[in-house]
Structure 1
Amino acid sequence: MSALTSAATPRPGAVLADLLPASSAARARVRDVALVVGGAALTGTAAQLSVPIPGSPVPVTGQTFAALLVGAGLGASRGFLALALYAVAGMAGVPWFADASAGAGMPSLGYVFGMMLAAAAVGALARRGGDRGALRTAGTMAVGMAVTYAIGVPYLALATGMSAGEAVAAGLVPFLVGDAVKAALAMGALPAAWKLAGRRG
């Protein structure tokens, strides 16, 4: 079986990015670097889809959805590195946080840190088949969102002086409906991508 054929055939323990062919170790490294940079850029682009929430310093954006898709598509290590690049570049001044912002002083920065860990968690679950069926994908996305909030909400409270209840009210509750929509989108997109890969394989 050729390298191209084996790379294009879904197998246990694989994530979608593993289906991209690489004929040598050097080309695989180049591929992985490109995927990491692309994952960071996708997250930064999605972050510009931003809707402010009255009474909350945290807007609804597309970055969480992008971060979880990056984790599922790239796997734990590459997903984590993509979100780490996104975080470090944004803190260094690249204006690709929500609303073209940058820097390290935002009260919503905890969500970015949470997305780094969420991408790793989602990627690990994806390697165990967590993105190959609708219900499993919903569970995988729920884990990723929970990890994001577990870091983001306490950070919001510390950064703003809110109480725990106020931080939950401002930084969690307004986003639950949107998160359900994102999970539903992922339930369709990721299993469909695997089915398409299977047909091409």
Structure 2
Amino acid sequence: MSAPAVRLDRVPVLADLIPGARVRDVILTLAGTAFITVAGYIAIPLPFTPVPLSLATFAVLLTGAALGPLRGGLSAGIYLAIGLVGVPLFANGSSGWAFSSFGYIVGYVLAALLVGILARHRSDRTVWSTLGLAVLGSLTIYACGVPWLAAFLGVDLVTALTLGAVPFLIGDAIKIVAMSALLPATWRVVDRARR
């Protein structure tokens, strides 16, 4: 006899543990957008690349994992949409689409969705699976950002990687390690509280 299939919409992410339904979802989605926005403002321009060092990638990955694919993806999508219409909420007060790091912001939406889906598969419960979740989310952001950077600057892909990925690898490693400690620790606390 085979085990019953587990529906992904029944595997909780952290946000599902908060009581409520639609109102909760709206509030959490908007809070996710606010978190990404605030983290995006924490940006350091680097003299050797047009892409700023920002905490937004950490916020996107954490939002996707904590809120799940729908709420997390919507949080990043609202951030993208508000910036596209001209509100200066991207790093360094940018808005619109005609700047070098816009591709990374498109990648935020896809990364939040992917990380949320992986969290629905319980990939945010252990250190090793969370490491994988965060690495895949980061690679998704780069997969959108680096080609956009190459096209925007009119450079080859190797130059774009040198400008738009290599300088950020150490920072990304720190963010990934932080996530892989934070999420499983939060789940341990939640599991203890439920007992």
How does the TM-score come out when normalised to structure 2?
0.92
Number of the residue aligned with 2:19? 21
What residue identity is the alignment partner of 1:63? A
Offset at residue 55 of structure 1 (A):
1.9
Q: Distance in 2 between matches of 1:146 and 1:119?
A: 12
Offset at residue 161 of structure 1 (A):
0.6
Number of the residue aligned with 2:24? 31
Cα shift readout 1:47-91 (whole Å, capped 9, x = no counterpart): 111112222110110000000000000111111111000000011
Cα shift readout 1:175-198 (whole Å, capped 9, x = no counterpart): 100000001110111111111212
Matches within 5 A, 1:10-89: 13-22=11-20, 28-89=21-82
Task: Indicate conservation of the 8 Å contact 1:61/1:98, yes or no.
Answer: yes
Between the two proteins, what is the percent identity of the paired residues? 44
After TM superposition, the runs of 4+ consecutive aligned structure 1 residues lying more than 2 A away are: none
Count the aligned residue pairs: 185
* Candidates 153, 160, 164, aligned match of 1:160: 153
What residue identity is the alignment partner of 1:132? R
Offset at residue 94 of structure 1 (A):
2.1
What residue identity is the alignment partner of 2:131? A
Secondary structure of 1:57's partner? coil
What residue identity is the alignment partner of 1:13? V
Q: Distance in 2 between matches of 1:99 and 1:200?
A: 41
How does the TM-score come out when normalised to structure 1?
0.89
Offset at residue 96 of structure 1 (A):
1.6
Q: Distance in 2 between matches of 1:179 and 1:104?
A: 24
Which ranges of structure 2 fall in alignment gaps of 5 or more residues?
A: 1-9
Number of the residue aligned with 1:125? 118
What residue identity is the alignment partner of 1:149? Y
Matches within 5 A, 1:92-171: 92-171=85-164
